[in-house]
Amino acid sequence: MKITPYDRSRDLIIIDAEVWGPRTSELVSLALDTGSSETVLAPDIVDRLGYSPRHGEQITRVRSAVSEEQGYTLRVLRFATLGFTLADFRIHVFDLAAGHGIDGLIGLSFLNHFNYEVRSREGLIRVEQAS
């Protein structure tokens, strides 16, 4: 069982993650979003890691409550957060709304690998490997 604290005073549950690309790795701030089917990174982060759209697997359209954005999926070398690391992990790349101070979202594409519990009053996320 891994336990990750988060800052309860923020409007979103923000978690640190590390992502590896062909050029470098980068620490990023991601919002935990159980309403997002995919884990998302902003294009500028992906560019700094050494990826480009030509590394993408497919072009996508992502619908939100207010708009539809075009993006693409790609596989990053490694993705680590909440005490666990996944290799060859697929992410969605598209622009996020400005003003939240985040680099992306931790969505169900990551979370569904685990059992997890958000303990809001304690400001903790408990994660364990699913059996």
Domain span including residue 89: 2-129
pTM: 0.91
pLDDT, tens digit (0-9, with 9 covering 90-100), for 62-73:
776 667 778 999
Q: How far is CA 54 from CA 6, 19, 51, 57, in A?
A: 35, 18, 8, 8
pLDDT, tens digit (0-9, with 9 covering 90-100), for 68-126:
778 999 999 999 999 999 999 999 998 887 667 899 999 999 999 999 999 999 999 99
Counted domains in the chain: 1
Q: What is the CATH number of the domain that holds 26?
A: 2.40.70.10
